[in-house]
Amino acid sequence: MTTEPTRPPMTRFDFDLYSDTKTRPSPGMLRAVLEAEVGDEQHGEDPTVDRLTARVAAMLGKEAAVFVPSGTMANEISMLVQCRPGDEILAHRDSHLLNFEAGGAAALAGAMVRPLDGPRGMFDADTVRAALRRVARVLPHSRVVVFEQTTNLGGGAVWPMDQMTEIATLARDAGLAVHIDGARLMNACVASGVGPAVYGALADTVYMDFTKGLGAPFGAVLAGDRDTINAAWRWKQRLGGSMRQAGLMAAACLYALDHNIDRLAIDHANAQTLASGLAALPGVAVRTPETNMVFADLTDSGMTAVEFDRALWSVGARVSIQGPTTIRAVTHLDIDRSGIDLVVEAAGRILAGRGPRA
């Protein structure tokens, strides 16, 4: 039996750059929760859930949508709907679906994941073409291509529209479905100026997560055509994801749609400020952020990622560890510009006088 690593001694960091999942619901969001009109969601009787699913379906240009507790469940249900056991999913080697869902695609849908390579969490059409299986008795069926928009381990990169379109067309022509893991889809929309329905048009299934930059404590909405969403509902029931008075949750998500989309531009600007602040420090190499994620390599600073993170704890800040000397810092609505300045200043003190290890 393996054990989980030890948790930090504090549970609350004032400047928690570990992930955009660390936000707490705002007072306005909590008021919306308290005022929500609710019913039995499993029976289609919750008006707030219905409002949310109708609104997200329209935003994504789809016929129908289903509310699920998490992005992980949206990915799993999508794979369950698209795949039969033995089928093959084409996804990036660094994707959430392949790495962080406890093997759900294999365990639940019985599908294999074919890892595709490419810079910043993205692959190109030639890579997909080369990975497509021909039809033969001994081969698995290539069934679905997965885009992660934005890419997580790829550093919050935004898939360019022409690259996505080329791959989606190739996939369709070869009889594959397309799924968009939209954990941070709205970050992509704000950064690129491309509307969610434009991305949605490329996909058979696409979901939007509310627990990342949108700042809600739970919830994702998976959209597709009506038959697909009817099938998704059955899987949601089988997985125990059907809920009762889920309007409480949906109200937080509706609040997020009303208040927390445009402001993602602030997170993106804060990520730029953080990136340039860190890049100015000795021995720190920073990848230019496209959205709200900053990846920095500390190899030449003389510190490991763990040492750097632990040192930040003393000022109530933390980052996530991505490798021995690589950290990821994610900006979000609970960290404003002064928080970013404080972290940069603390990082400067921590790294001062350090240098490459002998």
Residue 113, SS3 per DSSP: strand
Shortest reach from residue 190's CB to ligand PLP, in Å: 16
- The phi and psi torsions of 178 (rounded to 5 degrees) equal -125, 130
In terms of CB distance, is 144 or 347 closer to ligand PLP?
A: 144
Report how many residues bind ligand PLP under the rule CB under 6 A.
13
Q: Which is nearer to ligand PLP, 157 or 254 (CB)?
A: 157
Radius of gyration of the chain (CA): 21
Residues 257 to 276: which contact ligand PLP by CB under 6 A?
none
Choice from 202, 220, 251, 340 touching ligand PLP (CB under 6 A): 220
Question: Does 209 interact with ligand PLP (rule: CB under 6 A)?
Answer: yes
**Do 272 and 279 touch, CB atoms closer than 8 A?**
no
Residue from the set 23, 72, 228, 291 that interacts with ligand PLP by CB under 6 A:
72
> Per-residue x/- mask for ligand PLP, residues 133 to 152, rule CB under 6 A?
---------------x---x
Beta strand segments in 72-119, E: 88-92, 112-116
Q: Which is nearer to ligand PLP, 72 or 325 (CB)?
A: 72
- In whole angstroms, how close is the CB of 210 to ligand PLP at the nearest point? 8
Taking residues 151 to 190 in sequence order and writing x for each that binds ligand PLP by CB under 6 A, - otherwise, the string is -x----------------------------x-x-------
Compare residues 33 and 157 and give the one whose CB is closer to ligand PLP.
Answer: 157
Q: In what order do the strands lie in the sheet with 142-148?
A: 64-68, 220-224, 205-209, 177-181, 142-148, 88-92, 112-116
Structural element, H or E, at residue 341: helix 337-351
Q: Can you spell out the DSSP letters for 214-230?
A: T--SS-EEEEE-HHHHH
Asked if 71 touches ligand PLP (CB under 6 A), the answer is yes
The Cα 341–Cα 317 span in angstroms is 12
Helix (H, G, I), strand (E, B) or coil at 17: coil
Cβ proximity to ligand PLP, 146 vs 350, nearer residue: 146
Instruction: Give the 3-state secondary structure percentages of the chain, helix then strand then coil, rounded to 5.
Output: 45, 15, 40
Is 92 a residue that touches ligand PLP (CB under 6 A)? no
Token pair belonging to 139: 């081969």
**Among residues 62, 92, 96, 143, the one that binds ligand PLP under rule CB under 6 A:** 96
- The residues of the shown chain that bind ligand PLP, judged by CB under 6 A, are 21, 70-72, 75, 96, 148, 152, 181, 183, 209, 211, 220
